[in-house]
């Protein structure tokens, strides 16, 4: 049968329409373009959707029907078929609602099909035809090919977030009626205002290092960790200040750069945690999950993959308090992200990648009761109980924590005497200067690593060559402490950070000696 024969044999009175709109869906942080093809015909009412839609996407039929009814368009005279292409990509969420609605209007001759050309639509519809904000607008707008597109329509609730994409023609819509008028050539939608980025050092109410009494070694370890973005483990009895020190770490970290803020904002946008009033994160994230967190909650997961705490803390701090109380399998799931700096969530139909490069700060008691080796209180744990407690933390996991520091109980004299200590601002200035030295060195030598904590072995050989005294010191440490190859590399990285804090271009024996002090817990029976 020819096309001519097909058209003449079609039932008289039935008119066919076809329209195409464009949108996208997210898998992890990667946006995939989606073509919404809608065909309509006169006849018994129907609305079917194909193309592997998930439950929330299938429910678009109800939302679109309700929203179009508010505009005075009733679909009970039409048989509608919606195809979401390509079919092999699973479509989740409600971000396709607006694209489906305008394609239905164009397929039923209520909009010219030409107005949908080279336009990207994002947004969820309410039954009142309002366009609701959606997750992940910033990752949606990160596709390079969007620079050639004519126009992008996003919900007004995502205006601040969309305003970070300054090279794109992004317009914001509050409701479907305004969008239809815009597409028909009437009143134009306003463009998303440019979002200004002004980073902060830490959120208000974080406290200050001047509040810490005593604990000179722990304060020094905190400064080293901040200067080189090193992972840190505090070991000490209850009440020694481990949690306070960890929560003060953001106050001495340098502000987010614009590129770091964009990466963090994309992750939080996908998770639905990005504040709409600012549209961008302005402080380094600080995440402190409870020890009952699941493996999926910590590293990410779900049928539609979402980022976990380790990704939400990207470029910030992931604080794991009471480390030994976490489920062992949950902690072991951190080993690969800590090594690779990213998380892969594999599903049957897709893989999602999320960056995961936080500073991991952990706090743990030396035993279940917390008072093993305490100078004034007696431990009530048996040796077997202590052994099982230590077994909760595997050697490979502890090996990935760059600096181990013992936090002893605070002496009464330190609590009662007049206290004058260095404030966070002074420490933060030294940390920022050390980070600047690392960035300048990376730029001059063409290094991929921007902070010392992620320097490769080859890069360490270039930026931290050892003299004879340094080599002998490291060889003795490996021999006497039984350090692994990974621990050996971490000692060198920390030594490079110590030299950067002192403004020394070379790594010398005193720097290595101090870095080795951060691995002495490897040789102790407590942890």
Q: Express each pLDDT in 478-511 by its tens digit.
A: 888 888 889 999 999 999 999 999 999 999 999 9
Query: Is there a domain that residue 472 lies in?
Result: no
Tell me, yes or no, whether 83 and 225 share the same domain.
no
What's the pLDDT score for residue 470? 87
204-262: per-residue pLDDT in tens? 446 889 888 888 899 999 999 999 999 999 999 998 889 999 999 999 999 999 999 99
Q: Are residues 172 and 218 in the same domain?
A: no
The residue-averaged pLDDT of 53-77 equals 93
Question: 409 near 237, Cβ under 8 Å?
Answer: yes
pLDDT at 3 over 60: no
Q: What is the pLDDT of residues 300-324, one digit of tens each?
A: 988 788 999 999 999 999 999 999 9
Give a yes or no: residue 479 inside a domain.
Answer: no
Q: Which of 205, 202, 206, 223 is nearest to 422 (CA)?
A: 223
| 30 vs 510: CA distance, rounded Å | 46
Angle value at C-alpha 285, between 454 and 499, nearest 5 degrees? 35
Q: Are strands 359-364 and 300-301 parallel, antiparallel or unpaired?
A: unpaired
Do 166 and 232 belong together in one domain? no
- Assess if residue 228 is contained within a domain: yes
Residue 198 lies in a domain: no
Alpha carbons within 13 angstroms on the beta-carbon side of residue 489 total: 16
Mean pLDDT across 96-101? 97
Predicted TM-score (pTM) of the model is: 0.90
pLDDT, residue 384, reads 93
pLDDT-derived band at 411 (thresholds 50, 70, 90) equals: confident
Helix (H, G, I), strand (E, B) or coil at 82: strand
| 106 & 221 share domain | no
Q: What is the pLDDT of residue 430?
A: 96
Could you give the CA distance from residue 430 to residue 433 in angstroms, rounded to a whole number?
5
Residues 238, 150 share a domain: no
Residue 491 resides in a domain: no
pLDDT per residue as tens digits for the range 357-379: 999 999 999 999 989 988 888 99
Residues 281 and 218 in one domain: yes
Sheet strands side by side (includes 232-235): 286-287, 317-320, 359-364, 232-235, 403-406
Do 217 and 361 share a domain, yes or no? yes
The Cα angle at residue 188 between residues 182 and 190, in degrees rounded to 5: 120
Q: Do 133 and 229 sit in the same domain of this protein?
A: no
- Domain endpoint, select from 384, 409, 444: 444
The domain boundary, picked from 390, 413, 444, lies at 444
292, 248 Cβ separation under 8 angstroms: no
**Res. 43 pLDDT band, cuts 50 70 90:** confident
How many domains is the chain built from? 2
Would you say residue 483 lies in a domain? no
Q: Does 450 fall in a domain? A: no
Q: Which SS3 state, helix, strand or coil, does residue 176 take?
A: helix
Proportion of the chain in helix, strand, coil states, percent, rounded to 5: 40, 20, 40
* pLDDT score recorded for residue 202: 63
Confirm whether 469 is domain-assigned: no
On whether both 130 and 271 belong to a single domain, the answer is no
Q: What is the pLDDT of residue 103?
A: 97
- φ, ψ (nearest 5 deg) of residue 257: -80, 170
CATH of the domain at 135: 3.30.230.10
Task: Give residue for tokens 């039923």.
Answer: 108
CATH number where 338 lies: 3.40.50.300
Same domain, residue pair 172 and 221: no
Alpha carbon distance 492, 496 (integer Å): 6
Q: Domain range spanning residue 388?
A: 209-444
**Do 228 and 282 fall into the same domain?**
yes
Q: What pLDDT is attached to residue 14?
A: 54
* Planar angle of CA 299, 291, 409, nearest 5 degrees: 125
In this structure, the answer to whether residues 169 and 214 fall within a common structural domain is: no
């Amino acid at each position: 049968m020819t096309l001519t024969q097909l058209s003449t044999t079609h039932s008289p009175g039935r008119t066919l329409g076809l329209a195409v709109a464009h949108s996208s869906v997210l898998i992890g942080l990667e946006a995939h373009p989606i073509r919404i093809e809608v065909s309509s015909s006169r006849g018994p009412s129907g609305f079917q959707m194909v193309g592997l839609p998930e439950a929330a996407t299938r429910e678009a039929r109800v939302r679109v029907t309700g929203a179009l009814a508010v505009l005075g368009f009733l679909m009970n005279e039409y048989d509608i078929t919606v195809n979401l292409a390509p079919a092999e990509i699973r479509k989740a969420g409600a971000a396709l609602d607006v694209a489906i609605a305008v394609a239905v209007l164009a397929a039923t001759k209520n909009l010219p099909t030409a107005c949908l050309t080279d336009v990207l639509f994002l947004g969820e519809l309410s039954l009142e035809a309002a366009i609701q904000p959606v997750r992940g607008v910033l990752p949606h707008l990160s596709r390079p090919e969007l620079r050639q597109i004519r126009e992008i329509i996003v919900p007004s609730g995502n205006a601040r977030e969309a305003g970070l994409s300054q090279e794109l023609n992004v317009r914001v819509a509050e409701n479907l009626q305004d969008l239809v008028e815009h597409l028909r050539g009437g009143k134009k939608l306003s463009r998303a205002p440019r979002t200004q980025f002004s980073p902060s050092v830490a959120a208000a109410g974080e406290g200050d290092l001047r509040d810490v009494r005593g604990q000179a070694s722990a304060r020094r370890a905190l400064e080293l960790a901040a200067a080189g973005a090193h992972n840190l483990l505090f070991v000490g009895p209850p009440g020694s200040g481990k949690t306070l020190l960890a929560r003060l770490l953001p106050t001495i970290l340098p502000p987010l750069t614009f590129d770091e803020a964009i990466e963090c904002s994309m992750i939080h946008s996908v998770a639905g945690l990005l504040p709409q009033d600012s549209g961008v994160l302005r402080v380094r994230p600080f995440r402190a999950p409870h020890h009952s967190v699941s493996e999926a909650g910590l590293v990410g997961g779900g049928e539609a993959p979402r980022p976990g705490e380790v990704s939400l803390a990207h470029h910030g701090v992931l604080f794991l308090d009471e480390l030994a109380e976490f489920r062992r399998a949950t902690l072991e799931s951190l080993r690969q992200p800590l090594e690779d700096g990213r998380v892969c969530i594999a599903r049957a139909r897709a893989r999602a990648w999320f960056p995961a490069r936080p500073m991991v700060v952990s706090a743990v008691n030396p035993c279940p009761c917390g008072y093993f080796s305490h100078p004034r209180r007696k431990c009530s744990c048996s040796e077997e109980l202590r052994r099982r407690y230590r077994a909760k933390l595997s050697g490979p996991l502890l090996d990935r924590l760059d600096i181990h520091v013992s936090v002893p109980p605070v002496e009464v004299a330190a609590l009662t005497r007049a206290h004058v200590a260095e404030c966070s601002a002074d420490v933060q200035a030294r940390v920022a200067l050390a980070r600047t030295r690392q960035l300048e060195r990376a730029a001059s030598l063409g290094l991929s690593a921007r902070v010392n904590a992620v320097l490769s072995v080859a890069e360490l050989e270039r930026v931290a060559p050892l003299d004879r005294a340094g080599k002998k010191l490291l060889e003795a440490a490996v021999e006497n402490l039984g350090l692994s190859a990974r621990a050996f590399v971490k000692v060198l990285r920390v030594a490079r950070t110590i030299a950067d804090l002192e403004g020394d271009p070379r790594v010398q024996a005193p720097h290595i000696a101090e870095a080795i002090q951060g691995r002495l817990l490897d040789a102790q029976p407590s942890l």
